[in-house]
Chains A and B, each alone.
Chain A
Amino acid sequence: MNALRKYFDKIKPNFEEGGKLHAFRSLYDGFETFAFVPNTTARRGGTHVHDAIDSKRIMSLVVIALVPALLFGMYNVGYQNALAAGQLEQATFWGMFFFGFLAVLPKLIVSYVVGLGIEFTVAQWKNEEIQEGFLVSGIIIPMIVPVNTPLWMLAIAVAFSVIFAKEIFGGTGMNIFNVALITRAFLFFSYPSSMTGDDTVWVAQDAICGLGYAVPDTFSAATPLGELAAGVAVPTTSLCDQIIGFIPGSIGETSVIAIALGAILLLWTGVASWKTMLSVFVGGAVTAMLFDAVLPSINDNGDLVNVAAHIPWYQHIVLGGFCFGAVFMATDPVTSARTEGGKWIYGFLIGFVAVTVRVLNPGYPEGMMLAILLMNLFAPLIDYCFVSRNISKRAKRATK
């Protein structure tokens, strides 16, 4: 660490006014403050609320919390590939993991290069400090797309969402919508066949650098939610597999256990709000039970209908992006409700909308993305109601 500090101090003059690398000062500043807490302090006098943990430290914690899900996602990419090729017996743990690593790494790189590139350019252009919000979005984006998403699509979607969902609103901390989810929504509506389509998008098809296996052309694997939407009453994967994460799906969303590890870290450090997280689960579970009780399971002709409504409520929570969304996206401090009471309503409605979309609209097997984006829109309104309620309460107390 000391050597790194010395190195930063040594190259610093190059980036100051008049230095030969002055044009890249925001780049330097970004990396310096990422590695070290700034050593400048507020001027004496006046009152300062001070906390040693700044937003870069919070972002680093979230990134660490995402690592288990990312690593498991890589392993699962290799596992699904070997399974699809019928080579599961021969495949080794490390072989599958490195295959997944090689499949996911380009997406991580593209996401970070494009997103940070735009952020650094804008910061430089407006003469501002680097905003660090993309550190988290950049790692989440590859985790919420199918493994076969082409890189150029990812690049366009990242550029679109960083410019239109974030920079236009004023950069990190000002965005109304979750940037990573806007990326996914853009991909979802622009290139539907590459995002859900014909069920060939969830499993890597070709060998990479001698690792992994070529999958037969005819092979297709639907996610459990995709199967439900297609009318299959019982998903082909077992509940145990669904909890551990050995199912087809977006790269980082499959494993409940890996996401739970991240959730524990976020809750333990107090970065994410337990109220939001808990209420998303409660909202999803209650809605699932409600639909199970209300909707008929067989129509007049004796055919099975509404199969998505009649799986157990815990399966709704285990499947798809429900856990990932609840833990890492609903709790995004920028786009979620900020009042303590508002967090309950905000979270509950996310769970409610997500399950409602799944059950009632077969066109969208997964509703978590739409649910969170919709509630992002309503978060300021929820906050407004709670704040004005508090104001009127206190006004009454004062006049008594």
Chain B
Amino acid sequence: MSLFSKANKEALTSPLNLNNPVVVQVLGICSALAVTAQLEPAIVMGLSVTIITAFSNLIISLIRKSIPNRIRIIVQLVVVAALVTIVSQVLKAFAYDVSVQLSVYVGLIITNCILMGRLEAFAMMNKPWPSFLDGIGNGVGYAIILVIVGFFRELLGAGTLLGFQVIPDWCYEHGYVNNGMMTMPAMSLILVGCVIWVHRAYNKDLV
């Protein structure tokens, strides 16, 4: 069996588009609303979730045959919690500002529905390598939506991208004002809605 057989490719790419965890399965919305006010935390959050999903999928898949069925959720939680703690500590050590911005939401990755969903639905019944790919696919699928929403929220809400001013001073001098509602979580729900709208417009069979 080759490393990138058709089934494996499917596991990696389908969460990016037709089986996207956020816009199709509508999971992980809570954190998508909370961390996307700026682009940088959105990217970091997306990366963290990708890493954690990939490795928790891998580990659970490796030990899937020895986990007693009745306590599998607890075992999954222990694995995820260990990985989340590692990521959180790394962030605190090397990207302190971002970890302050993300605050509790890194810790809350433990309860992210995407993670538990993938562990239950995929890693518990598949081999390690496909599980790893599935984890990466779902993490990246989540990250893409976060980056899109974060891009528009930071651009329209603060006029900057990754902290650099993008909208020229000329516009502000002529009366342009940043949209304060973009920095509120309510607007990111509407933006996620817009992303879903565009996505469904291109994939009519999802409607």
Contacts and interface: CB of A to CB of B under 8 A. Distances in A.
Tell whether A pairs with B: yes
Contacts of A361: none
A191 B178 CA distance: 8
Interface residues of B, number: 8
Contact of B175 (A150, A164, A189, A190): A150
Contacts of A192: 180
B180 A190 contact: yes
Most buried by A among B175, B177, B190: B177
B177 A193 contact: yes
A186 interface: yes
Interface in B79-93: none
A153 B181 contact: no
B179 interface: yes
Interface in A123-167: 150, 152-153, 164
Interface string B99-114: 0000000000000000
Nearest to B184: A189
Contacts of A80: none
Majority SS of interface residues in chain A? helix
Interface in B175-194: 175, 177, 179-182, 184, 190
Nearest to B186: A189
Contact of B177 (A164, A186, A189, A194): A194
A191 B180 contact: yes
Contacts of B190: 164
Contacts of A150: 175
A239 to B, nearest CB: 35
Most buried by B among A153, A189, A192, A193: A189
Interface string A175-204: 000000000001001111110000000000
A153 B175 CA distance: 10
A38 B176 CA distance: 45
A380 B56 CA distance: 45
A191 B190 CA distance: 18
A141 to B, nearest CB: 17
Interface string A235-263: 00000000000000000000000000000
B179 A191 contact: yes
B101 to A, nearest CB: 22
Contact of B181 (A152, A189, A193, A194): A189
A164 B175 CA distance: 25
Nearest to A150: B175
B84 to A, nearest CB: 34
Interface residues of A, number: 11
Contacts of B182: 190
Contacts of B177: 153, 191, 193-194
B159 to A, nearest CB: 13
Nearest to B177: A191
Contacts of B175: 150, 152
Nearest to A153: B177
B171 to A, nearest CB: 11
Contacts of A193: 177
Interface in B128-183: 175, 177, 179-182
Contacts of B184: 189
Contacts of B179: 190-191
Contacts of A164: 190
Contacts of A194: 177
A188 to B, nearest CB: 9
B69 to A, nearest CB: 43
Contacts of A189: 180-181, 184
A41 B175 CA distance: 52
Most buried by B among A186, A190, A192, A193: A190
A292 B56 CA distance: 60
A51 to B, nearest CB: 37
A13 to B, nearest CB: 35
A320 to B, nearest CB: 22
B83 to A, nearest CB: 38
A186 B190 CA distance: 12
B117 to A, nearest CB: 28
A153 B180 CA distance: 12
Interface string B64-76: 0000000000000
Given A189-B180, A194-B177, 12 more contacts: A150-B175, A153-B177, A189-B181, A190-B179, A190-B180, A190-B181, A190-B182, A191-B177, A191-B179, A191-B180, A192-B180, A193-B177
Interface of B: 175, 177, 179-182, 184, 190
18 contacts: A150-B175, A152-B175, A153-B177, A164-B190, A186-B181, A189-B180, A189-B181, A189-B184, A190-B179, A190-B180, A190-B181, A190-B182, A191-B177, A191-B179, A191-B180, A192-B180, A193-B177, A194-B177
The 4 closest A-B pairs by CB, nearest first: A190-B181, A189-B181, A190-B179, A190-B180
